[in-house]
């Protein structure tokens, strides 16, 4: 079979979510007269007395943060989910169902994880040792919440930057633990299970082996982790973190794999910032196996990064029009995106500016 010319418009298949994406490389140079984002380059202070998340400050809900010195976790003051102890949820626990209109109550836990007391340092600017402390906190939260009988899935995610709807600039992420398996992890569960039943191996493991052979979509890697731009990436500089060992969740990581994860997060997020020399916005999420007690031997832990920037720090990708009514579409190819991320240095541009 003759290789496809990937410089022409084509579709790519995402086997994890059973979706297609349109790739249109010829559109990458089209004129842009649309929205231009403002770039905020001023440095934030180490401590902001007006920040709800800084140590010692009063949060919007009235609670006071302790004078924390490391990673800090607390229950979200404005959670998207309510716990089973809520009286109304105990009463209204029936399922409303018909042939078309279906609904069911959802319960769970929402928490906030501040990466450090520093108001001004994102993960890209923290040393790997402090990122390791964040990784350990992720593990602890997954262990605690995943052990509960009323929790079916633990979703860790970070929204970084105003462009991604982050409501507070203090570097942090969130954990939402839900009674039911959410839609996207549910799709990935079904896809990985089908693949395993057909081939006897895990989908992401076979995919990773293919990417390591080809090399064209790799961004950075170490002994235990690989960061790459997926073949089916939707966002311009979308990436995925995949462990080399078949492991289903964060608590199953060995100590050396946690160290290596901190290093690859540092390398990837620094490359993001260096690409356009700006604190790179993104939404990141971990996809682990469900916490239902089943083995799920086909599920390989992975993280996804969805950054919105397209051409520069001021031009972003919008999911509109064709994307909303037909299927996702991208301009620059995943191979070009990976090459550009590989080409930037791993030393943060702010360190270079400071001459440190």
The catalytic site residues sit at 172
SS3 at position 156: strand
Phi/psi for 206 (5° steps) reads -65, -40
- In 61-83, which positions are buried (b, 16+ CB within 10 angstroms) versus exposed (e)? eeeebeebeebbebebeeeebbe
| Of the candidates 152, 142, 79, 143, the residue with the CA atom closest to the CA atom of residue 110 | 79
What's the burial of 21, exposed, middle or buried (CB within 10 Å: 0-12/13-18/19+)?
buried
**Pairwise CA distance, residues 228 & 204, whole Å:** 12
Give me the phi and psi of 96, to 5 degrees please: -95, 120
Residue 228: strand, helix, or coil: strand
Sign of CA dihedral 264, 267, 273, 276: negative
Rounded CA separation 235/304 (Å) = 11
* Non-local CB neighbours of 204 within 8 Å, separated by 6+ positions: 16, 192, 242, 300, 302
Closest to 197 in 3D by CA, of 189, 187, 207: 189
Order of strands across the sheet that contains 153-160: 72-75, 108-114, 172-178, 153-160, 282-287, 302-306, 239-243, 225-228, 218-221
Distance CA 137, CA 21 (A): 35
């Amino acid at each position: 079979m003759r290789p496809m010319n990937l410089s022409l418009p084509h579709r790519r298949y995402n086997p994890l979510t059973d979706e297609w994406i349109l790739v249109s490389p010829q559109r990458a140079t089209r004129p842009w007269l649309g929205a231009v984002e403002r770039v905020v380059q001023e440095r934030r202070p180490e401590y902001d007395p007006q920040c709800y998340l800084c140590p010692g400050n009063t949060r919007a809900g009235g609670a006071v943060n302790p004078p924390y010195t490391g990673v800090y976790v607390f229950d979200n003051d404005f959670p998207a989910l309510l716990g089973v102890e809520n009286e109304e949820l105990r009463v209204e626990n029936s399922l409303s169902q018909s042939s078309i209109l279906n609904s069911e109550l959802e319960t769970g836990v929402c928490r906030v994880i501040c990466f450090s007391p520093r108001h001004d340092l994102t993960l890209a600017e923290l040393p790997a040792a402090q990122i390791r402390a964040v990784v350990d906190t992720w593990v602890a939260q997954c262990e605690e919440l995943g052990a509960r009988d009323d929790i079916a899935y633990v979703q860790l995610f970070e929204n970084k930057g105003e462009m991604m709807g982050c409501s507070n600039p203090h570097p942090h992420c969130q954990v939402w633990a839900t009674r039911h398996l959410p839609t996207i992890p549910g799709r990935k569960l079904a896809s990985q299970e089908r693949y395993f039943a057909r081939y006897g191996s895990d989908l992401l493991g076979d995919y990773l082996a293919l990417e390591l052979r080809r090399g064209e979509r790799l961004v950075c890697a170490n002994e235990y982790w690989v960061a790459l731009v997926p073949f089916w990436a939707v966002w311009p500089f979308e990436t995925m973190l995949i462990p080399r060992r078949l492991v289903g969740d964060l608590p199953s990581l060995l100590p050396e794999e946690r160290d290596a994860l901190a290093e690859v997060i540092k390398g990837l997020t620094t490359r993001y910032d260096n690409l356009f020399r700006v604190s790179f916005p993104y939404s990141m999420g971990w996809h682990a196996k469900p916490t239902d007690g089943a083995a799920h031997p086909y599920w390989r832990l992975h993280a996804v990064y969805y950054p919105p920037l397209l051409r520069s720090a001021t031009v972003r990708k919008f999911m509109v029009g064709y994307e909303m009514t037909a299927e996702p579409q991208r301009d620059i190819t995943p191979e070009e995106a990976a090459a550009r991320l590989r080409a930037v240095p791993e030393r943060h541009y702010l360190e270079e500016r400071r001459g440190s």
